[in-house]
Chains A and B, each alone.
Chain A
Amino acid sequence: QVHLVESGGGVVQPGRSLRLSCTASGFTVSNDAMHWVRQAPGKGLEWVAVISYDGSQDYYAESMKGRFTISRDTSKNTIFLQVNSLRVDDTAVFYCAKQTVVRGLAYFDSWGQGTLVTVSS
């Protein structure tokens, strides 16, 4: 059974950095592309980044380029999101999600429970 568990969230001061983790079980992260999605309080879903199944490529939402870095450790079956220079408007629940592809069409078939990042002085 596929299971995703995010961790690493918390309260952090503006300008600091944070690394979020998403540990997978029931499948191998080297088999599927993995994504991060965030959701500010009371707001909609915002896609953040993706890392390809083989780890060779990563892509970011335009507004996330430069401060966000997605990576993975296949030995731990875990993906990461490094966020630098945190801003108050980065306050959000961060979800990791597993991509699946059917007939060439991709969707997210599993999500973690999310980890809350609160940026506040």
Chain B
Amino acid sequence: DIYMTQFPSSLSASVGDRVTITCRASQSINKFLNWYQQKPGKAPKVLIYAASTLKSGVPSRFSGSGSGTDFTLTISSLQVEDFATYYCQQSSNLITFGQGTRLE
């Protein structure tokens, strides 16, 4: 099984801040890494797929990078609507999610 370690588990930030969330895989997953945003009571939605490809319609302040085992999600200038929980997901070997990062 591939394990995903995501950190930090929570992050306190303010509007306008630059925020970075990290995800580490227990073995190389090439670029099989996706990022999701989830708001309370709602289903997750994809932001970034294939490590760095921005999903159509997602604001350009979101970006992803990395390959192999280490990945990051960056929000360049935090907006009010970005306060949510973020999950990484590997799809190299079945599916595993990171533990989530709550942005508050």
Interface residues of A (CB under 8 A from B): 35, 37, 44-47, 50, 59, 61-62, 95, 102-103, 105-109, 111-114
With an 8 A cutoff between CB atoms, is B44 at the interface?
yes
Find A106's partner among B44, B91, B97 (CB 8 Å cutoff). Answer: B91
Cα(A103)–Cα(B50), bound, Å: 9
**Most B C-beta atoms less than 10 A away, residue of A95, A107, A111:** A107
10 tightest A-B CB contacts, nearest first: A111-B43, A107-B49, A47-B95, A107-B34, A44-B100, A106-B91, A105-B50, A45-B97, A44-B99, A107-B46
B 80-101 contacts with A by CB, 8 A: 85, 87, 89, 91, 94-100
Complex CA–CA separation, A81 to B103 (angstroms): 32
A105-B99 contact, Cβ under 8 Å, with A47-B94, A111-B43, A113-B43:
no
Q: Nearest Cβ in chain B — how far from A60, in angstroms?
A: 9
A-B contact list, 16 entries, CB within 8 Å: A37-B97, A44-B98, A45-B36, A50-B94, A50-B95, A59-B94, A102-B49, A105-B49, A105-B50, A105-B91, A106-B32, A107-B46, A107-B49, A107-B91, A108-B89, A109-B55
If the complex has contacts A44-B99, A111-B43, are A62 and B53 also in contact, measured as CB distance less than 8 A? no
Which range holds the interface residue count of chain B? 20 to 34
Determine how close the nearest CB of chain B comes to the CB of A95; give it in whole angstroms. Answer: 6
Establish whether residues A45 and B100, one from each chain, have CB atoms under 8 Å apart when the complex forms: yes
Please give the distance in Å from A99's CB to the nearest CB on chain B.
8
Smallest distance from the beta carbon of A36 to chain B beta carbons, Å? 10
Docked Cα-Cα span, A112 to B45, in Å, equals: 10
A91 to B89 Cα, complex, angstroms? 22
